[in-house]
Structure 1
């Protein structure tokens, strides 16, 4: 049986099928996303969603959906599915679904009387083109297919409504049409692999409702424009291919193009292969051939911190060292522009956050383990030393090296760590002063760069880094270790330390170089195990701490207050499991393998084959937030790699 396969009973039960989402990307910023029954439940859903840089920095839904209709003996059977106000679903095409399989490409099998129709979908790599192949597997009489395109032409953050400005004009092209609802947008080409009749029958479908937006406390209704429909006859055993794109295609080559794209796909036939597939979806190659890592789908862009945290897991852990180097080439340009105070030409957001440089050093450290220290020094040695001297010279606008060897950041008025939710313009968790993971990363960076300098650089440089590391390590223990065996999350020298039990202390154990003694490391790990560990990662706050709010539900403000106040994060679980292996080694292998089961369960729920942004901190640990999140996928892949190393 296929790994990602669902039978009729689940597909026709909307309570089970509608919450399951499906994401396909082209690795250049565009994507296709909906539910497994093709019922859009978010404003971010669409069959063809593309960036339109001429308009703004957002993605735009051009083609929302395509409804196929089977016609036999004059009877019409619409296979589409939309949700309207009042919990009404129409036209209820899901009842014809017999099975759904997503191992290689999403494949839906419909049965309408004696008609069996198969639908397969691929997104062409590096092109803004969605391809759908329809095959008439069986039919006992003449069969006609009709297709209605639902158009939106809007930003993923907005809605479209019936209006008189939308253009109804269209132009016939080879086996299809091209149209554009509003000026400034690209033309949408809708073409088929065989001759088709287009019937112009413009109409607005009003009151389409998106329940996921309702859950999040947003507006949730829009109107979609249908310019008409395409119609063609199809014979038993025949396949036709539909293309929707921002550019015209040679329709005679559509069948071959579809098959070529299918042949390139790797099966998602197990947990690991699903994660590898998900890792590739975060790849982003621009027209300038720059390479980035997108932080997540469907609404995140390339963020600096996420890039460096995710990069080792998404590339090195699956033997894709070359893509690590391509992303680093773009990222290095951005880092040097930032350190020189120049305008950024690299499209990397939040590069000024104070821990970004520290995470960059950590990412390079992982590269050294895979590619070898000599190659690492040759490619990134200068970058490492430049970063450390930039910090030591106190040139960062919000990262001050104090006399005690610790790094200080101001975070009262603006969120500066990964715990970045805000309410009323101020951080919900105002982490400020000496921040625990910043200084754990700083100590690790100093020790790593000292060892690299000793081996390939300058003995004097190595001695200087070691001196800073010794001072930092001593102050770290004095500042963060408390009498209860865990670490303060942050310490503001003028105020009391923060006593909340949070997961950020795990980095002081998991990183290669730790300022803590083995006994202190074990104590920290034990507290994380008792108070923070869930089957979906570490909680962002202990249930015993004040303000625990583990359910990420409700309107935006309510979710902002819960975002880092008890929700569970898989990427933190990755560092927790690395710390476990570091301290207990092979004796914890079976324990960590059991933890992996909690993530494998997600392959068939939420968004198929990937890991969402976060989970509720209490049972049943529902997945929440973005449907696919880079650092979560990355850290699970890195954990699987660590497991293999400890096994053999």
Structure 2
């Protein structure tokens, strides 16, 4: 039985099935994405969505959807589905679905009368090509398939409408046709493995609606160009292959290509294997030498902070150290270029933010933990030394080392930390001065430097380290047993909000806090911030708490860091629990991970969402697949196994939901 399987009852319930989405990527920035029922609910959805850098930095939807019609006795049964104005769904193909499952290739099984048809699809690695396989399992009479492409040729952040500028003529390809609706776009090749007829029937399918965009307060109605349809006969037991790509394929090899792509995939048969698949989908190789992690799907690019936080979990703890090496070899030259005030790549964003280097040092720590300290030093020791001394020179544009040894972050109201929601360019949660997690990272970085590079450690650095530890305790510890979130330097302002940023002062390998304070901090985090899906970004007892992240962009930005739950914070939280509670933390962590496993069947199928609502039922929100969430859960599984090994506890399998 498949690990991720959805039966006919759920698929027929559009309130449920349209809320669940899948994402498949090709490691080159392109993807295929929709709801599991096949109804596009976002402007980002599409069968073939690819980068077209000549037109914009965003991805572009070429093929929005591909409607399937099963013809029996001359009667067509369209098993596609779209939503139109007035909450009208047509055609109602969901009523023919008998099963949807995600094992290796996503598979949908339809029953129309005496016909049982299976549709599977794969997105090819490192090439902009989507493959579908149609297999006729049962039929009592002649069966014909019709495939109707819905073409968009537009930026994912825009919508298209009926117009006179499109180029509707089609060209010929081997066993298929080609389209290019607008200048500047690549040619789209649509091909089948079997002889067929392409019936020209050009028209605009108007007023398609995307309910997720309507919920988010954006334009949500689109017109799509339908040039006609492919018509092909199919026999019982026969498989027919369909290819959509920007290069011509050899129709005779589509079956072989599908088999090859299928054979190199890891089955999604338990919690960890799903996370491994999700982690691989963030891997982005724009060319033969460079590598990155995308922050999430379907709308994020490469972001420096997300990359370093997600990197250990999505590479070394995902049994893929080669990805770690390639990404570090790509990103570290950009880090060095920034420190030397030279030009940097446009691929990676926010590399200029003050805490990025501190997260990079944490990443090196995790690598040393996984490999060895000597190996880390031999590979990255020079970079670690350069980075520490860059901070000590006080030349960063918005971070400096104060006289008390702490890091001060200043700006013009822009976000300065991972809490980066903003409205009109200004941070929704404005945090300036001494930020608690930044200074926990700074203390940890200095301690790691002392451990890794003892030959370069000086009495002056030792004095600085002692100063940082004392100043951290004096500045952040309050009389209620937790830590201020941030403190303005040289003033009496203290932010008393109970936020999760203080968890890093208890979880990092080196903590400036005494053990009693660490225990008190963790107890308050557990009592006020911990949920089954992660840590809240603000305690319900603090002013401004907003438990639901929905509505317009302004409403969402206001709630992201004022109550929404962030699953990536489970990584540091679990690490702190193990450090402070040892063996007794193991069952608690296991139970929490079992709860997270349920999410694989919810918002983003087989992956983990960006965030969740702060109150029950903790609905998944934001990006359907988020690198920091996936990475830190993979690291959490590694932490759990390490703790069980340390305390000689039986390693029990995570419960499977089938």
What is the 5 A alignment of 1:493-512? 493=489, 494-512=491-509
Contact 2:570 2:636 in 1 (8 A): no
Correspondence list, 1:20-59, <5 A: 20-59=20-59
Q: Does 1:409 find its partner at 2:409?
A: yes
> Aligned partners of 1:287 and 1:424: how far apart in 2?
35
User: CA distance change for structure 1 residues 309 and 462 in 2, over 3 Å: closer, same or farther?
Assistant: farther
Alignment match, 1:531:
528
- Is 1:565–2:562 an aligned residue pair? yes
- The answer to whether residue 358 in structure 2 is matched with residue 361 in structure 1 is no
- 1:61 matched to 2:61? The reply is yes
**CA offsets per residue over residues 341-376 of structure 1, 9 Å max, x none?**
111136110001110000000000100111111111
> In 2, Cα distance between the equivalents of 1:400 and 1:257?
55
Instruction: Report the Cα offset of residue 232 of structure 1.
Output: 1.1
Query: Contact conserved, 2:481 with 2:517, CA < 8 A, in 1?
Result: yes
Aligned match of 1:161: 161
C-alpha distance 495-248 of structure 1, shift in aligned 2 (>3 A): farther
Distance 2:215 2:461 in 1: 51
The separation in 2 between residues aligned to 1:160 and 1:462, in whole angstroms, is: 62
Match of 1:646 in 2: 643
Tell me the equivalent position of 1:4.
Answer: 4
Are positions 1:472 and 2:463 aligned together?
A: no
How far apart are the structure 2 equivalents of 1:506 and 1:78?
Answer: 53
Which of residues 577, 587, 590 is equivalent to 1:580? 577
SS in 2 for 1:63: strand
- Which whole-Å deviations, capped at 9, do the CAs of 1:60-108 have from their partners, x for residues lacking one? 0000010111111111111110000101111111111111111111011
**Cα distance in 2 for residues equivalent to 1:622 and 1:114:** 39
- Per the alignment, residue 276 of structure 1 pairs with 276
TM-score (norm 2): 0.97
Given that residues 21 and 33 in structure 1 are in contact (C-alpha distance below 8 angstroms), is that contact kept between their aligned partners in structure 2? yes
Match of 1:259, SS state, is helix
- Give the match for residue 552 of structure 2: 555
Partners of 1:412 and 1:427 within 8 A in 2: no
For each residue in 1:412-448, what CA deviation from the matched residue of structure 2 results, as whole angstroms up to 9, or x when unmatched? 5111111111124321111000110110000000000
| Separation in 1, partners of 2:315, 2:111 | 41
Q: What is the CA-CA distance between 1:531 and the residue it aligns to? A: 0.6
Which residue of 1 is the match for residue 477 of structure 2?
481
Structure 2 CA distance for partners of 1:336 and 1:218, relative to 1, 3 Å: same
Aligned 1:169-248 pairs, distance under 5 A: 169-248=169-248
Instruction: Name the SS for the 1:49 alignment partner.
Output: strand
* Larger mean Cα displacement after TM superposition, 368-377 or 381-390: 368-377
Deviation of 1:8 after TM superposition, in Å, equals 1.0
Identify the residue that residue 618 of structure 1 maps to in structure 2.
Answer: 615
| Alpha-carbon separation, structure 2, partners of 1:346 and 1:560 | 25
* TM superposition shift of 1:559: 1.1
Map residues 107-506 of structure 1 onto 2, 5 A cutoff: 107-345=107-345, 347-411=347-411, 413-454=413-454, 458=455, 460-493=456-489, 494-506=491-503
* Residues 329 and 464 (structure 1), Cα distance of their counterparts in 2 relative to 1, 3 Å cut: farther
Name the CA distance, whole Å, in 2 between partners of 1:120 and 1:502.
Answer: 45
**Unaligned residue ranges in structure 2 (runs of 5+):** 646-658
Q: Is the 8 A contact 1:303 1:350 kept in 2?
A: yes
Q: Assess if the C-alpha contact under 8 Å between 1:67 and 1:148 holds in 2.
A: yes
Matches of 2:373 and 2:138 in 1, distance apart?
60
RMSD, matched Cα:
1.0
Aligned mates of 1:312, 1:424 — CA distance in 2: 33
Q: Distance in 2 between matches of 1:298 and 1:495?
A: 43
Mapped contact 2:114–2:140 kept (Cα < 8 A): yes
Does the aligned pair in 2 maintain the 1:612–1:629 contact within 8 Å?
Answer: yes
Structure 1 residue aligned with 2:650? none
Are 1:513 and 2:502 matched, yes or no? no
Which 10-residue stretch deviates more, 463-472 or 365-374? Answer: 463-472
Q: CA deviation at 1:592?
A: 0.9
Distance across 2 between alignment mates of 1:112 and 1:473: 70
Shift of residue 56, structure 1, vs aligned partner: 1.1
Per-residue deviation at 1:461?
2.5
Deviation at 1:157, TM superposition (A): 0.2
Aligned ranges 1:571-610 → 2 under 5 Å:
571-610=568-607
Alignment: residue pair count: 644
Q: Which runs of 5 or more residues in structure 1 are unaligned?
A: none
Report the 3-state secondary structure (helix = DSSP H, G, I; strand = E; otherwise coil) of the residue aligned with 1:42.
coil
Q: Is the 8 A contact 2:279 2:318 kept in 1?
A: no
Which residue of 2 is the match for residue 95 of structure 1? 95
C-alpha spacing 1:546/1:635, structure 2 compared with 1 (3 Å): same
* TM-score of the pair, normalised by structure 1: 0.98
Find the aligned partners of 1:205 and 1:517 in 2 and give their Cα distance.
66
